[in-house]
Each structure stands twice: as C-alpha cells, then as structure tokens.
Chain A
C-alpha cells in the first residue's frame, strides 16, 4: 500500500509540476490544482499509513488513526479550493485584459506584446 500511495502522490506531483511550467494559463491552473492534490495526499499520509485502525480511539487498545493530519488536510483542502477558484477567475481576467492566455501576455502571432 505504501508503494501505491507514494507512486500516486509522485505521479500527481510530477504531472502538476509539468503543467505548471507550461506557457498558457489554463494548463498552469490545472497543474497547480494537481500539485495541491498531491500535497494533500502527502499531508494526509504524514501521520503514518495504517489499515483497519479505529477512526479516533479504540477501547481495545488497538491502532488508531492520527487525527491531526486529517484536521490539517481539511484546512489545506479548503484553502486550496479557494485559491483554485481565485486563480481561475484571475486567468480569465488576464485573458480579457491582456488579450492573450499566455502567462506573459504574449500574442500568438507577435513575438512580444508592447508594454502599455
């Protein structure tokens, strides 16, 4: 399970990083979203992975999940959602204002847009 978990996190992070380095705003936003998913998964696993444990406490003295990472990852998810929504709106605004969806505001046919 550890191997699967870490591979998933790693692939998500690699895809996110690749997309975040692209030149257009849409792949960048998607890349940041994937990156935040990877980070959330990673954060979730930081208390150690365990199967069959009690959710919070176990009377029989068995293993139980660490509740703190769950609280932390919840916070991180909420913040990540807000940030994604914000960056989507911002990317659309940039498309409208700069007349291009390139992160540097370049038009496709011109090498570089004149700075106003």
Chain B
C-alpha cells in the first residue's frame, strides 16, 4: 500500500497536536515547526500530483479494511491537485502570520495545522461519512481561528458562523441517513455503482437525500441563497485566517463536483445530473449579486470577500455547464482564484496596517509607506482577480467562456463579463482612493514618528509574493497546468475507472 496518500492528514495531525502541547514560551520554535510541517505538506502534495499524473486511481485502506467496508482515502488527479493547492495557500498565509499576527491570541499554529488536516482529509476521503467527519474537523478549527485575537466584530460574526454551520451539519447527517437508508452504503465508489439500480420506490428518497447534500455543500461554498454569512465572517477574520478560508469555499465546490459527477453523475439512471440545473442558475445569480456586492462595499476586506463570492459563482457555473471542457477550465480557475483571493486578504491587511486610522476602509486617508511594493502588488492582484489579460484570471475565464455551449453562452457571457467589469470598476476605484487620493506628507512623517515599524517586513512580503506572484507563474505555466486539469476532468468523468479501481481490485485480491 502506498503510505504517501495518508501523509497529508498525518503530518498536520501530529504537528498540530505537538503545537497544541507547546503553547508557552517564545514563538520562534512554534513558527519553525508549523512552517516545516507546511513545507513537508507541499512536498507531499507535489509527489502525490506526480504519482497521480500517471492516471492510475490509488486508494489507501485505513487499518487495511478493504472497500467497500472500511474507510478509504482515494488519490486521483483532482484530489492531488487540491492537496497541493491547500499546502501552497497555507504556506503563504503561514509566512504572513509568522510576522506577528499569530501571537495576537493563543494556539494559532496548532489550530491552523488541524484545519489543514481537515481540509486535506475532505479532499482525499472516499467515504461520504468520513467526509462529514473531516468537515467537522475543519469547521471546529475554523471556528476558533475565525475568533483568533478576539474583538467584538469577530465574536459577533463568529457566533453566526458557528450556528449556521451547526445547522448545516445537522442537514448533512440527515442527508447521509437518507442516502444510507436507500442506497445501503456510504462508500462513494460503491454508491456510484449502486445508484443506477435503485428501485423506483426509493428513488424519491435518494433524490431528497442528494439534494440535502447539495444544500449543505452549497452553504459551505456560499452559493446564492446561502452566502450572506460569508462577507461579514471573512471581513472580520484575521488576515492569514481569511486567506486560508479562501480554500474553505472550494472544499464545498470540490464536494459538489465529486458527489454530483461521481455518484449522481450521468450514469446514475433517473438520478443522473440532479444538481447541475440548480447549480447553473443559482451560480449565475450568485455571480450577479457578487458583482453588486463588490461595487457596494465600503471596506477593502468586504470587497475581497465579495470577490470570493464572484469566484464561487464562476466556479459553480463551470459545474452547472457539466462538460469535460468546463470542468477542466473550472479546475484551472480554482487554482488561480484560491491563491489570488488569499493573497488579496493578506495584501489588504498590509495596506490597513500602514494607513493608521483609515484602516481598510475605502476613504481618503494617510498614504501607505511602501507605495511602490503594495501598489504594484495590488495592481497585479486586482488585474488577475478581475480577469484582465496578462494575468491568470484572464486565462481561466477565457477557458470557461470557451467551454460554454451556445445556449449557455447567452447567459454566461453577459453575466460573467459584467461581474468582471464590476470587479474592475470597484477595484480601480478603491485602488485609486487608497493609493492616489492620500492626504499630504505632513501626516505621513508624523506616522513614522509614532512608532510604526517601517514597512511590512520580510516574512509578510514573502507571504504576499508567494500568493500573488503565483498569478504570472500560472500564466507562464498555463500549458502544463491546463493539460493537468483537463486530464483531471477526464478522470472525473470516467466513473467506471473509479469504481473499478476501488472495488474490482479488492474482488480480484479476494479471489487469489
């Protein structure tokens, strides 16, 4: 058995437990352990991607209980990509956090590692109930991380976030119960194999269970009627945490993609393609409202949170289109948008730190000290996130626009492009307010005297460069990456191979 598959869960588990035990004393050892564990995670992710590139679906049976009876972790191109993406994003936000924001409250690094464990587990698991467990692991870590450092705004939005997610977990369990009662298994491959043969009396129940799961995943990914918690929670969260949360919505999107292409995919008879029509229309509405939200926000943090809503709408539209090209394009866009929105949260925090009282609000205020560095990064990130050519957003959006069929184009093109336009307008307005309409130099010199550290420091710059610098790199290596994501989409569409890799191997081993 290939033990590499379980490492993305074990590395953060053990480093996280160790970090929780070592809470006192200087911060440097904790930072080093956390950074080392995350680098190890990144290496592990890259190795997994190289292994999965061969196209063979591997699984890891925990405790050697063979599927469909035991819990398994499954490695395919999609899960390897998501694990690597998580590690990269985590490394950037951890570098940034290590410059000081990790010491605003206790246990930052331990919780951060446990959060990574939950995210990686959700990406790797091949069992629906295990997915629930990993969702809970990542949620309970995210509750504490969201309120890291305390303060009224965080407690306030934190309580809403916790209550909403507890209700979501209850729905998740009801959905799982219904699906187990009707299909008779919770192993994803086994469910996919059994779903087409359901008798008609159970179809309605199975459909209800599947739609309940869609509601839960939709809440995690912040689709239209369920996104209202997101801007406030993400705007209140500490910057490195908000940056890591950029992947949380993608966990929901990944779960929709996995469950509704594998289990309730085109092969599932009367349960085929249950979610896609719903997701398509709701995604378009999410896009439109996200565009309005970006235009109306008066705070840079809220603005970035609404940019996340736009990216969620774009990604879900890709799921709604339900074609190979669209899935490949959305995976490329997912890599881009996760890194860039994460980077933007960090950048906004750096800007707010240098503007004194004005903070992240989009008003005339004190000028930032490092106009050249922060201004350039903001320019790059804004163009990338809005999807303006030389950067990666343009490639991702072009791929998606190209993947739409003529019917879909009529809806997707105007809505996606006008939401991009809204993002450009809003970001250019906020960028020019923050960087150009700053008040005079007198206040600036005063600010230097007031004991602010000069500049944002090397670690923060490194974190920012890691995430925002990914955008030009994603363009430079767009060829290999989009080839990989297209292959991942192919693999995702091939249910037979997935079912065979997990169930057949077990049967032949049992015979020999």
Residues of A near any B CB (own CB < 8 A): 20, 25, 28, 32, 35-36, 38-40, 42-43, 45-48, 68-69, 72, 75-76, 79, 82-83, 86-87, 90-91, 93-94, 97-98, 103-105, 115-116
Contacts and interface: CB of A to CB of B under 8 A. Distances in A.
B156 A87 contact: no
6 contacts: A35-B170, A46-B177, A69-B180, A75-B129, A90-B162, A105-B152
A35 B171 CA distance: 10
Nearest to A79: B136
A72 B129 contact: yes
B143 interface: yes
B177 A97 contact: no
A3 to B, nearest CB: 17
Nearest to A42: B177
Contacts of A47: 180-181
Contacts of B158: 90
Contacts of A83: 136, 140, 166, 169
Contact of B170 (A39, A68, A75): A39
Contacts of B186: 68
Given A79-B136, A87-B163, A90-B159, A43 B177 contact: yes
Contacts, number: 86
A46 B178 contact: yes
B173 A39 contact: yes
A76 B147 CA distance: 25
Given A46-B177, A103-B160, 4 more contacts: A43-B173, A68-B186, A86-B143, A93-B155
A28 B167 CA distance: 11
Contact of A116 (B133, B152, B176, B177): B152
> Contact size class for B?
20 to 34
Q: Give chain B's interface secondary structure class.
A: helix
A48 B177 CA distance: 11
Contacts of B162: 86-87, 90
B153 interface: yes
Interface of B: 129, 133, 136, 140, 143, 147, 150-153, 155-156, 158-160, 162-163, 166-167, 169-170, 173-174, 176-178, 180-181, 186
Contacts of B143: 86, 90
B180 A46 contact: yes
A81 to B, nearest CB: 12
Contacts of B153: 115-116
Task: List 10 tightest A-B contacts by C-beta distance, closest first.
Answer: A46-B177, A46-B181, A43-B177, A39-B173, A39-B170, A97-B155, A32-B166, A35-B170, A94-B155, A79-B136
A86 B140 contact: yes
Given A39-B173, A97-B155, A115-B153, A103 B163 contact: yes
Contacts of B133: 75, 79
A98 B466 CA distance: 37
A98 B152 contact: yes
Contact of B173 (A76, A82, A87, A104): A76
A94 B186 CA distance: 38
Nearest to A36: B170
Contacts of A32: 163, 166-167, 170
A45 B177 CA distance: 8
Nearest to B171: A39
Nearest to B159: A94
Contacts of A116: 152-153
A83 B155 CA distance: 16
Given A39-B170, A83-B169, A105 B156 contact: yes
Chain A CB within 10 A, most for which of B153, B159, B160, B167: B159
Contacts of A87: 162-163, 166
Nearest to A91: B159
Given A43-B177, A46-B177, A47-B180, A103 B159 contact: yes
Given A87-B162, A90-B162, A116-B152, A20 B140 contact: no
Contact of B174 (A20, A39, A82, A86): A39
Contacts of A93: 155
A105 B173 CA distance: 30
B49 to A, nearest CB: 31
A82 B180 contact: no
A97 B150 contact: yes
A108 B450 CA distance: 40
A43 B179 CA distance: 11
Nearest to B129: A72
A20 B163 contact: yes
A21 B147 CA distance: 23
B156 A98 contact: yes
A68 B184 CA distance: 10
A68 B163 CA distance: 28
Chain B CB within 10 A, most for which of A46, A47, A91: A46
Contacts of A94: 155-156, 159
A115 B361 CA distance: 14
A16 to B, nearest CB: 8
